[in-house]
Structure 1
Amino acid sequence: MIPTAVIQAAQAAQRKWKVPASITIAQWMLENGSGKRIPSHSNNPFGIKAGRGQSFVMAGTHEETKDHKLVATIAPFRIFPSMNEAFDQHGRLLATHPAYKLARQYMNNPDAYADALTGSYATDSKYGSKIKSIMKQKFLYKYNL
């Protein structure tokens, strides 16, 4: 079951940043196991890495290498003051960062949007397929505004 607060935060981000709520919810589910693996004291359910000058916590993660091997590593994950702020900043990131320019062409097509995140949002070469699978299995399209 998806918490109402997650649905509401994803829809608020869609209203503000136009990122489909289905994408945001699927990423929330994939990136942290539906709320089970959020780095301690971070309010960061999306695996967003910290940039220069941003507060962070160090946490374990897995990165996929160019030859498709998973490597365990420790990385700095951004700290957000609240979960709602994390959802807002996630939407802002996807709506404004140059790395997601291709995805933004598909704001009205969540499946194509998910495919466009592969190779840019995560190192996982199957990232888009995983997001699409979650959206379909959990009927997340119904949350899009």
Structure 2
Amino acid sequence: MRKTLLIFSLIILANFKAQTWKNDEQYIQKFAAYAVEEMEKYKIPASITLAQGLLETGGGQSRLAQIGKNHFGIKCKEDWTGKTMTHTDDAPNECFRVYDDPRESYEDHSKFLAYRKYYTNLFKLDIKDYKAWAHGLKKAGYATNPRYAYILIDKIEKNRLYEFDNTSSKEVLYTVLKLYPGLREDKIFMAQLDQNKASSRPITVTVPYEQTSYAKQQQKVDAIKTRAEILSTILVKNHPNGGKKFVVIPEDTELGLISKKFGISESKLMKWNELDGTNLKRNDIIFLEGKSSTGNVATYKPKVGESMHEISQKFGIKLSKLYDKNRMAYGEQPKTGQTLYLKDKKPRS
């Protein structure tokens, strides 16, 4: 039945492509599985957990989520013995928990609700009644915003997060695919789907040893897994210079994978990022739209070894404009400590 429904959905929605670069959508695609796992363990609606995560992190863009992998703004408190970071929230430089993995943040959030007396009454509610849970959280004092419950409900209904209240950890990827049918064109996501399917319903395939060895098969599986893991960690960010959308490459990979994930041709990505090849390195900045013609800061002094291209990517300014503003020949590289002009043109000496 599930397979028939999935195929039917794909046929009906075949002409639609998911906008996977949108912050809320990519957050849901990446963290829905965590929310469903927590629902199974602690009986908290996955829709509520996801909506809170979306709200707290601004779709994964907050400083706490990016640096501390803290998705729910949980502060240190006296019982916390792990890593910490300071962040200005209700007051300057407050202490917040830092996690090694976002999954730890999700579980800590579940424990925060499950083990505190203020939230006892929540667990008497129907797990599929997200509206009652939203109002219950507000009544229990989870947030001070008088419209907090309505904000959560709006997040849930706008993104159809209630779908995750009716799924399981084994079925969650199918639910994601139902919500974002355009992902059927994402080979990395489909590989994850197949891998999830295989793990719940293992099958045996007989292949002659001479044709392929176990080691070679395992290498292929590892390659798919590695690529999937790389792409799953990528979040679209808004650059301070004009809000241009960009991503930071987490591991060495190929431009083609970025092209497929975001539905942007390689030629456009190469043009917008002034690339002369398709091999991407860890921590490379890749813009998903054209950069600005001017910087958002007046000047910059290059660090040791920094190239003009690296600086243009760092500040979101077109490479040709950076050269022009500094009266430098194309291909010439800056000296360490040299003053580069990003807004106005360098004065003539």
Q: Which residue of 1 aligns with 2:182?
A: none
Q: Is the 8 A contact 1:38 1:45 kept in 2?
A: no
Secondary structure of the structure 2 residue equivalent to 1:41: helix
1:41 is the counterpart of 2:61: no
**Which residue matches 1:140?**
161
Match of 1:56 among 61, 84, 88: 84
Structure 1 residue 53: deviation in Å? Answer: 4.4
1:86 has 2:105 as partner: yes
Please give the residue correspondences for 1:1-145 in structure 2 after superposition, counting only pairs within 5 Å: 1-3=25-27, 4-39=29-64, 41-54=67-80, 55-61=83-89, 63=90, 73-106=92-125, 107-118=127-138, 120-144=141-165, 145=167
Q: Compute the TM-score of the two structures, normalised by the length of structure 2.
A: 0.37
Instruction: Report the 3-state secondary structure (helix = DSSP H, G, I; strand = E; otherwise coil) of the residue aligned with 1:16.
Output: helix
In structure 2, what is the Cα distance between the partners aligned to 1:13 and 1:80? 17
- Distance apart, 1:5 and its partner CA: 3.0
Change (3 A) 1:38 1:99: farther
Counterpart-to-counterpart distance in 1, 2:30 and 2:132? 26
1:52 counterpart SS class? coil
| CA pair 17-125 structure 1, distance change in 2 beyond 3 A | same
Change (3 A) 1:6 1:102: same
Secondary structure of the structure 1 residue equivalent to 2:156: helix
- Separation in 1 of the partners of 2:63 and 2:40? 25
Scaled by the length of structure 1, the TM-score of the pair is 0.84
SS of the counterpart of 1:136? helix
CA distance in 2, matches of 1:128, 1:38: 24
Rounded Cα–Cα distance in structure 1 between residues aligned with 2:144 and 2:96: 15
**Structure 2: distance between partners of 1:30 and 1:89:** 17
Q: Would the alpha carbon gap of residues 2 and 85 (structure 1) be closer, same or farther in structure 2, given more than 3 Å must change? A: same
- Report deviation, 1:75: 2.2
Percent identity between the two aligned chains: 26
2:88 partner SS: strand
Deviation of 1:56 after TM superposition, in Å, equals: 2.2
SS of the residue corresponding to residue 119 of structure 2 reads helix
Give the number of the structure with larger relative contact order, counting CA–CA contacts within 8 Å between residues 6 or more apart: 1
Greater displacement, 27-36 / 92-101: 92-101
CA distance in 2, matches of 1:138, 1:13: 19
Q: What residue number does 1:68 align with?
A: none
Contact 1:103 1:113 in 2 (8 A): yes
SS at match of 2:77: coil
Structural RMSD (CA): 1.8
Distance in 1 between residues matched to 2:135 and 2:72, nearest whole Å: 17
Distance in 1 (alpha carbons) for counterparts of 2:130 and 2:51: 11
Q: Shift of residue 73 of structure 1? A: 4.4
Distance 1:50 1:17 in 2: 22
Whole-Å separation in 2 of the counterparts to 1:38 and 1:9? 20
* Structure with more of its chain in strand, by fraction: 1
Q: How many residues align?
A: 136
Shift of 1:77: 1.5
Distance 1:111 1:38, change over 3 A: farther
Could you tell me how far apart the structure 2 residues matched to 1:53 and 1:88 are?
16
